[in-house]
């Protein structure tokens, strides 16, 4: 049994349009899967369905089973809010593209990191303060004291994404979903945050579902990938195989455009 088993997932809008069509995949404990596709292909809705957070009015069918050691095996589709609340954080946590969505603009960063740490580890007072600084250091934030005292708007976008990662990791999830976590960052910061994510996921033995529209980015952090187009899964496999021999026409076009960018860079640097 996998950690996450998604079978025949369908999501429909309130007006009956099918936005995600019969998508199936699974993730074993400690393994990684990339979900790739252009804008509107259904990546975010798939993520939200796994978290049980689809917008009101949408309907979901199929099966999403989370089976995390030490927690009740749960069918997410149709689960009661209470059961989902018990799973969010500890079983599965998301880091979103825009870290401001995870952060309260009116609360100092340190207090926000303290909240999941206190809840998960039962820490208070000076032990909690020390754990907050350690969590900020773990995501390689220099000057953790200053960052802890800052409000979200007083730190950079890259620093905010590291804070969001620290908050996600504080829950010690079995599965981390990273939904385009570096898309809003500039390219050099993007590479650093990806490397950090990669090493933290390995160090903690977490499973990772990594969402991106960028094949090059996906291939740096995952070895297996599922390609989505217009809500349908068109191809799944090892990244290396998909890059070398894409079977589906859409995957071929993704690979061709990634290569195009690469060779444009080569031409300039030659
Ligand atoms: N709240 C909503 N109501 C109606 N349709 C929606 C809603 N949210 C998303 N959609 C539609 O569902 C489809 C899939 O959207 P989704 O956000 O999952 O795509 P995505 O692959 O994550 O795209 P992006 O990379 O731009 O985030 C799109 O056609 C989108 O317009």
pLDDT of residue 259: 81
Q: In angstroms, rounded to a whole number, what is the distance separating the alpha carbons of residues 239 and 245?
A: 10
> Atom 12 in ligand 1: which residue has the minimum CA distance?
19
pLDDT for 269 equals: 65
* Euclidean distance between CA atoms 178 and 218, whole angstroms: 11
Question: E strands along the chain, which residues?
Answer: 4-12, 18-27, 32-36, 59-66, 74-75, 92-95, 175-179, 207-212, 224-229, 232-238
Point out the residues of the chain with pLDDT beneath 50: none
Per-residue model confidence (pLDDT) at position 171: 85
Give the residue whose CA is nearest to atom 24 of ligand 1: 39
- Give yes or no for residue 40 CB within 6 A of ligand 1: yes
The stretches of 13-108 forming alpha helices (DSSP H) are 43-51, 81-87
Q: Beta-carbon neighbour count of residue 249 at 10 Å?
A: 10
| Three-class secondary structure of residue 49 per DSSP | helix
**Per-residue pLDDT at 119:** 86
For residue 225, the model assigns a pLDDT of 96
pLDDT of residue 265: 64
How many degrees, rounded to 5, is the angle at CA 161 between CA 82 and CA 236? 70
pLDDT in tens, 16-36: 999 999 999 999 999 999 999
Rg (CA), the chain: 19
Per-residue confidence (pLDDT) for residue 147, from 0 to 100: 97
Query: Which atom of ligand 1 lies nearest, measured to the CA of 55?
Result: 1
At 270 the pLDDT is 62
Strand 32-36 with 207-212, pairing: parallel
CA–CA distance, 76 with 6 (Å, rounded to integer):
10
- State yes or no: ipTM above 0.90: yes
């Amino acid at each position: 049994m996998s950690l996450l088993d998604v079978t025949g997932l369908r999501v429909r809008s309130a007006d009956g349009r099918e936005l995600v069509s019969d998508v199936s995949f699974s993730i074993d404990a400690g393994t990684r899967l990339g979900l790739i596709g252009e804008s509107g292909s259904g990546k975010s809705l798939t993520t939200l369905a796994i978290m049980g957070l689809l917008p009101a009015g949408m309907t979901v069918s199929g099966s999403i089973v989370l089976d995390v050691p030490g927690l009740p095996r749960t069918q997410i589709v149709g689960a009661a809010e209470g059961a989902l609340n018990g799973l969010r954080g500890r079983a599965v946590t998301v880091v979103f593209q825009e870290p401001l969505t995870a952060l309260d603009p009116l609360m100092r960063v340190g207090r926000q990191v303290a909240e999941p740490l206190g809840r998960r580890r039962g820490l208070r007072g000076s032990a909690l303060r020390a754990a907050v600084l350690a969590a900020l250091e773990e995501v390689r934030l220099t000057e953790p004291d200053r960052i802890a005292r800052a409000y979200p708007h007083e730190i950079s976008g890259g620093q905010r994404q590291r804070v969001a990662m620290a908050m996600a990791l504080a829950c010690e999830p079995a599965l981390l979903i990273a939904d385009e976590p570096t898309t809003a960052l500039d390219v050099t910061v993007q590479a650093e945050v990806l490397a950090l994510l990669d090493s933290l996921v390995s160090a903690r033995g977490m499973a990772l579902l990594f969402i991106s529209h960028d094949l090059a980015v996906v291939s740096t952090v995952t070895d297996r990938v599922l390609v989505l187009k217009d809500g349908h899964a068109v191809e799944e496999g090892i990244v290396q195989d998909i890059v070398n021999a894409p079977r589906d026409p859409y995957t071929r076009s993704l690979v061709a455009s990634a290569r195009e960018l690469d060779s444009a860079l080569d031409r300039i640097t030659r």
